[in-house]
Amino acid sequence: MALAIFDLDNTLLAGDSDYLWGRFLVEKGIVDGEFYERENERFFAQYKAGQLDIFEFLRFSLAPLRQHPPKTLQLWRREFLDSVISPLITESAIQLVEKHREAGDTLMIITATNAFVTRPIADRFGIEHLIATEPETLNGHYTGDVEGEPSFREGKVNRLQDWLEANQQTLQNSWFYSDSHNDLPLLEQVDHPVAVDPDEALTEVATTRQWPILQLHN
């Protein structure tokens, strides 16, 4: 049984859930709009340039989880999913997932975006296995810190290796779909790397190495 792994943001989704969650908080007046918008844009630019300090970003992005009770956060998240995320789930992305499901592959999403945001998105795709950055909780409340290793760049490889060992799985005949050069460490591990609407740097690598390039959303 092959493993079919999907990046989430700008791959299965026609947008970036992490960035858009920040925009949603600004638009709702939940966070300081001027400061949060400026920092959100700064971190997003760093990510695209391959220069993101993941721990600095997570201190910023997880702070609102610490500042509000879980029930309130869940209400906001439901509104975010319905109003922002649902329109970004395209028919072409659903068909790609279903192709692998029908082939009997084990489906997984692996994403640097935190699990508070991404677990219900994975559920909407019907994908059980999710490796995401885990926000730390204490007594049922978010602390604003990270539990374990963030699933970013090489962290995706490390977290996946832990999952493979725990589930007695291998990467034989595995697939990984991603849009970003930040995912090169994992793309290089699988048998079938696929660039999806790739950024400029990943387009260059995929072209040089003759990896398939899939236009899923454009």
Active site residue 197: no
8 vs 55: CA distance, rounded Å: 20
| CA-wise closest residue to 30 among 64, 66, 74, 78 | 64
Whether 32 sits among the annotated catalytic residues: the reply is: no
Q: 177 and 191 in contact (C-beta within 8 Å)?
A: no
Output the CA angle 38-79-24, nearest 5 degrees: 5
In order of 47, 64, 69, 115, 201, the CA distances from 108 in angstroms are: 22, 27, 29, 13, 24
3-state secondary structure of 32: coil
| Beta-carbon count within 10 A of 97 CB | 20
- Which active-site residues does the annotation give? 7, 9
